[in-house]
Structure 1
Amino acid sequence: MDTDWEDSDPEDLDEAYESYEAVASRHPLLDADIQEVRTFSDSAVSVREFSSIDGVSVSLNIYASLKESVAQAWRVNPSEVIVVCLYFSLSQYLDGPAPSVKVYQPSNEFFGIGHQLQSILGLYISEEWKHISNEKLVQKKERLSWCSASSLTAARPNGLQQRAVKIRAISPAMKQNNLIGCTTAITVEHPEEEHLTYTPSGKTEASAQQCGFLMQIIRYTEQRILTLNEHCVVCDEKHLFQNACMLKPAVCTRELCVYSFYNLGVMKGATEDVATGAEIVDLLVAMCRAALLSSRRAIIFNPYPSVVDPHNCKVLAFSPNNKNYDKLQEVLANVLMVTRMPQGSYEAMKQQMDVVDPLAHPLLQWIVDSNRSYIVKLPQHKQLKFMDTPHQFLLISSSPSKEASFTDAKKIHGSTFAFHGSHIENWHSILRHGLLNASGTKFQLHGAAYGHGIYLSPMSSISFGYSGQYKISSKDGATKHQKQPESGRFLKSTNLSCIALCEVITSTELQKHHQIWKNPTPDHVCTRFLFVYENGRVGSFNINTQDRRIEKEILQVIAANPHC
């Protein structure tokens, strides 16, 4: 091997070696932060050094603590880590340039929330980088360490004497995790001691600022994962909903966010939904059509589409600020025409739509993407037989925080099941906003004889009445399973009815007026199943959810469907 080192002066070689060492070695604070994460979990971090270019890639491996239904709805593989990959200066660490961020799951091609998390962490780090440095972080940790060991066990207000505490300094950029059921911190103000934090269990909560920067990233990521559905996937501003946050993450109505959402592919997955979930897509399109054709469309067709013009990506072909129902109805008719043809691949269907109407496929994408509920077709062996329809779906629309609140209330008060019937035209909005307390509002269609609240019934006959369908096909009102069509889409009829089976908290707030129930608290009502009927037919009118046999079958089906 050719080299000039043999002819070099030994002192020059020593100087060159020392210079290389200065670049190649990790900054001591970076090394300490990596060790801190490894102390937390040896598998939580992996490191690759690029000494020759003064770089280091740090991969933080984070498990998302999500219910299975949430993980499925968000396209997260719950058994695989979420990798947050950061690229720092090896020798400068926090004094170097702000790190680049990449978020992914190694084997998850449709990791829909990855772009949203990557954007959130990029913003968080850029804000932190204005106020952080190696020296400041070391000084902060030394000061906090000194304070923790000092005489902070003096008398505290409210009977908190003789309790060792630590100072908490949460970054302004950090958004609060409001998933009920997680550890909640109580903050007591003391001007001379900044903030003192106690947990309900009496144990002190470790501050993010007491940790190294890498541990801060892990904690912030864990917190934000639980609240992704509460914020726009592009701008990260909090959604404003009349009722409550829904399950699936979504884009807000700001035009710039809509452009980014569709043109930059912020959330991927609609293609897979359209390609593999044909029955779900049929149902969403049918609900959209019913709302659009309703005489009440100005009220119930909500949200109105935000669709980018395929010929000009800077213009919205459909916008909530300029509603054109006639044009929308025309394009939707073309969507229906293509989706009812015998289908091959998804790309073939898209090409057909582009030929028939360039706006048809973008509108179909919007219909799929704007759905904020998690809907899964139940296989026949996991269906509720007494509902007499093959079109049965798991329907989870509540946010993680609402489900957690519901679980807490259920432990105290218990729960039962009841039906909720609503006309097909209302379901376009229900899947995107949840079951609303519509009493006394413009959304109210029927009377509110017993006051404000969500109306339910343990009797199928009453809910079928509210669904807008009354026809039956046998003496006892039962409709036998219809044979599935051999080709094409599963919904051949435009005459559809839907009723939901909900789980409701049996607290004193649940008011029972014979077979009509009312609950004024939306958080105490969660959808579990949706049943669809075609051609004006409905199921048995004699189903009573309070019948022990019926309740037993419901619980068995829920147990067989872990997404519940």
Structure 2
Amino acid sequence: QFLYFIGCRIANMQRALSEAKDLCADWDVWSITSSDDAARTFVLTRSDEDQTSITFTISASYPSGSIVLKDIFGRELTARNLSVMDALDEALQKWDDDADTGSHGMPREATSMLFESAAGGAGGNEADVVPSIFEKAERCMAAHAADKRVNGLTWFSFDPARRKFIVRVACPLQTVEHYRANALNLNRNHAIIAELHISWQYLEATGPPVVNDIYTAPISTLAADNARAERRIGALRWFLKNRIESALSKNWVNYERVRHNYTEEDNATCAGLERFRPSVPEENFIEGNDMNIFAGLVQLLEYRVRTCTTLCLICDAPLPLEGMKLATCDKDLCNHSAESYGLGCDVLYELEMHPEVSELLVCLTLYAATSGVGGRDVLVPMCPVFINASAFPGYTGPLHFYCGEYGSDKKNFPKLVECVQMLPSIPTMVKLAHGDEATLRTELNSRSPLLFPLLRWILSSNRAHLEPVPKQHRMAGLGDFQFHLVASNPAKEGRFLDRKEKAKKDGAGNHSNGSFFTWHGSAPGNWHCILRSGLKNYSNTKLMSAGAAHGPGIYTARTMSTSIGYMRGACAPWKGGEYFGNKSGLVLMSLCEVIDDKRGTSAVTGKPSLKDVSNEIVTVQDEDLIDTRFLFAFPGNFNGNQSLKANDVNVPAALMRR
């Protein structure tokens, strides 16, 4: 992967140089006088009486990313997401001493080239040709925006100062599931809006559009000048921007220097826009959207929003567990990259809006690390934090949470426990921030540079969605700390409901609705992993915690007393804990829904997927047959109503998944 990354950097530099050579071939006063592949820079020098030079610094992700331009004195001219040709054009626009300007505010060389391109080299009036090309582009935009397939979801205008079309496409969020919207901090009454900048010469010879911003706002503000997010969407913004830029770069054919003889027939079919076809599965295409950039962008945005929790945030590989939140795959490089890019959640938002959940996640990480100190490693996944020592002069402590080299087999559990215990309480951290996450980072860095990235990882690595049960809906006899736990994404939930309906229709079990509830109790240190990986069949693996007396499977029980025995003792409490109000730590138990189908067969073992032992212990081998519904946190000395049957819990209809 590292070699591939280096290869991409070299290839991108070569692409930029190739564009520069083409540019020099057309503008004979310019030539490449030097280049440095390692620094990704090259210099264009003008050979006429002006004898000026411009230094180009190309981003590693070119043509996305930015180009930095500097004049002969090293003064920065601009930093824009532009192609080489557009970047030079942009620089010359602002550099009056470098060239005379044509009648349309463009460098004379650029105007002549554009005129020749449009007129096919034939004679004509420059003042007539340039507006003609713009008018054709504008008519194409208008025709595509008016397409009934995207009506109300697109908007465009022209910015004369930057000579760009400002294009916005929207993905309404009304159809996004309630809990998934909450997990992603999305307002279902809003839309995700992608704003792109497209050159007015896009029918001629330009690179792909630039994704200027991704934000959420009411769809009614699509045409507003300053519409911006009412909710912060953090890593989702980065993910969508990155994937849309990648699709545009891959699918937008770059017709540099291609001469077009436009005709009225071309205008009618909007020639030139057929170059974009987004990388989404064929069945997701709006019919004919390859001839309409707006339809293609709407479809691409909708597809990426719908699948964002099923693919790795960094490499786009399918996730082994499709959860409710953005996540990385199991590769160390992806985990480290996400941490380095700061793609975790909005820490301050989580602390302010979900204080109880934030405290619970901190406690569970502490319990997993404490278990590791005791000799049992259940900290899965491991914290990938690695800080840059040069950013913290005078700091001599560890840079990560491994013993020895980063990524070694031995984890530094004592240091992790120490750092978690150093975190202030949730209300204290909110107060320290004064409404600014950067201020909170500074405050935590003064205690240890490891604290803020550790906190961000704790909050962002949780793939499940936890939401406190409203007081009026709490289930009797199960304490004050009840959470709706949604660990599976809509696709997996859909499969679960289909199998449940089939079991109900076929009468495969003993319950008329096709499913029943069971308890799952597990040691406090295990829940850090469960919330990030889901309930797994860990029988006969190093993560197995309670044996497999009744064969492999996920062990659950019909009666609370059985599961209480599996919760075991509580760990030492978090010193910063405030919401759970006890000094004995926490123990946890979940209420699970199991499909009542004893006739199913495990694809792994070939044995029945569901095994009922003495009508009490239920082992589930097929992980698709079980789903967590609620999580209950109790004081460490909890005994509870030991005779309470899971299927007798009165679950309010309002709490079932929406």
TM range (shorter): 0.7 to 0.9
Match of 2:484 among 362, 380, 394: 394
| Length-normalised TM-score, structure 2 | 0.64
One-letter code of the match for 1:560?
Answer: A
Q: Evaluate the alpha carbon distance shift between residue 303 and residue 15 of structure 1 in structure 2; reply closer, same or farther with a 3 A threshold.
A: closer
- Deviations along 1:122-158, whole A, 9 cap, x unmatched? 111101024789999x9xxx9xx9xxxxxxxxxxxxx
Residues 1:233 and 2:313 are matched in the alignment: yes
One-letter code of the match for 2:198?
Answer: F
- The 5 Å alignment of 1:223-372 reads 223-239=303-319, 241=320, 244-252=321-329, 257-258=334-335, 260-294=337-371, 299-309=377-387, 311-312=389-390, 317-318=400-401, 321-322=407-408, 325-326=411-412, 328-340=413-425, 343=428, 345-347=431-433, 353-372=444-463
One-letter code of the match for 2:526?
Answer: N
SS in 2 for 1:339: coil
1:88 equivalent in structure 2: 198
Residues 1:435 and 2:535 are matched in the alignment: yes
- Deviations along 1:376-397, whole A, 9 cap, x unmatched? 222322211121x111111111
Equivalent residues of 1:170, 1:207 under 8 A apart: no
Task: Supply the RMSD in Å over aligned alpha carbons.
Answer: 3.7
One-letter code of the match for 2:501?
Answer: K
**Structure 1: distance between partners of 2:353 and 2:414:** 25
Q: Which moved more, 1:52-61 or 1:417-426?
A: 52-61
**Structure 2: distance between partners of 1:292 and 1:284:** 12
One-letter code of the match for 2:580?
Answer: F
Equivalent residues of 1:460, 1:541 under 8 A apart: yes
Q: Evaluate the alpha carbon distance shift between residue 323 and residue 237 of structure 1 in structure 2; reply closer, same or farther with a 3 A threshold.
A: same
2:151 equivalent in structure 1: 42
Q: Evaluate the alpha carbon distance shift between residue 318 and residue 336 of structure 1 in structure 2; reply closer, same or farther with a 3 A threshold.
A: closer
1:124 equivalent in structure 2: 247
**Structure 2: distance between partners of 1:520 and 1:341:** 39
SS in 1 for 2:477: helix
**Structure 2: distance between partners of 1:26 and 1:308:** 49
Q: Which moved more, 1:96-105 or 1:119-128?
A: 96-105
**Structure 1: distance between partners of 2:641 and 2:291:** 60
Equivalent residues of 1:318, 1:324 under 8 A apart: no
Q: Evaluate the alpha carbon distance shift between residue 420 and residue 208 of structure 1 in structure 2; reply closer, same or farther with a 3 A threshold.
A: farther
1:108 equivalent in structure 2: 230
- Deviations along 1:442-483, whole A, 9 cap, x unmatched? 22222323333222222111111111159xxxxxxxxxxxxx
SS in 2 for 1:105: strand
**Structure 2: distance between partners of 1:490 and 1:445:** 26
**Structure 1: distance between partners of 2:240 and 2:612:** 44
Match of 1:174 among 250, 274, 279: 279
Equivalent residues of 2:584, 2:637 under 8 A apart: no
Q: Evaluate the alpha carbon distance shift between residue 437 and residue 263 of structure 1 in structure 2; reply closer, same or farther with a 3 A threshold.
A: closer
Residues 1:68 and 2:178 are matched in the alignment: yes
One-letter code of the match for 2:307?
Answer: T
Residues 1:504 and 2:615 are matched in the alignment: no
Q: Evaluate the alpha carbon distance shift between residue 539 and residue 298 of structure 1 in structure 2; reply closer, same or farther with a 3 A threshold.
A: closer
Equivalent residues of 2:539, 2:553 under 8 A apart: yes
Please state how far the C-alpha of 1:497 moved relative to its aligned partner: 1.0
**Structure 1: distance between partners of 2:432 and 2:467:** 19
| Length-normalised TM-score, structure 1 | 0.74
Number of equivalent positions = 470
One-letter code of the match for 1:318?
Answer: F
SS in 2 for 1:317: coil
Match of 1:416 among 516, 520, 534: 516
One-letter code of the match for 1:281?
Answer: S
**Structure 2: distance between partners of 1:495 and 1:266:** 31
Please state how far the C-alpha of 1:287 moved relative to its aligned partner: 1.4
One-letter code of the match for 1:544?
Answer: K
1:153 equivalent in structure 2: none
Structure with higher RCO (Cα < 8 A, 6+ apart): 1
1:202 equivalent in structure 2: none
2:94 equivalent in structure 1: none
SS in 2 for 1:418: strand
**Structure 2: distance between partners of 1:313 and 1:441:** 41
- Deviations along 1:167-194, whole A, 9 cap, x unmatched? xx997x73559xxxxxx79xxxxxxxxx
One-letter code of the match for 2:362?
Answer: V
Match of 1:445 among 545, 562, 566: 545
Residues 1:217 and 2:297 are matched in the alignment: yes
One-letter code of the match for 1:545?
Answer: A
One-letter code of the match for 2:145?
Answer: I
Please state how far the C-alpha of 1:99 moved relative to its aligned partner: 0.1
**Structure 2: distance between partners of 1:324 and 1:338:** 24
Gaps of 5+ in 1: 6-12, 146-168, 178-183, 186-204, 471-484
Percent sequence identity is 24
Gaps of 5+ in 2: 1-102, 104-123, 218-228, 270-274, 393-397, 435-439, 504-513, 601-609
One-letter code of the match for 1:49?
Answer: F
One-letter code of the match for 2:355?
Answer: A
**Structure 2: distance between partners of 1:450 and 1:427:** 22
Please state how far the C-alpha of 1:237 moved relative to its aligned partner: 3.2
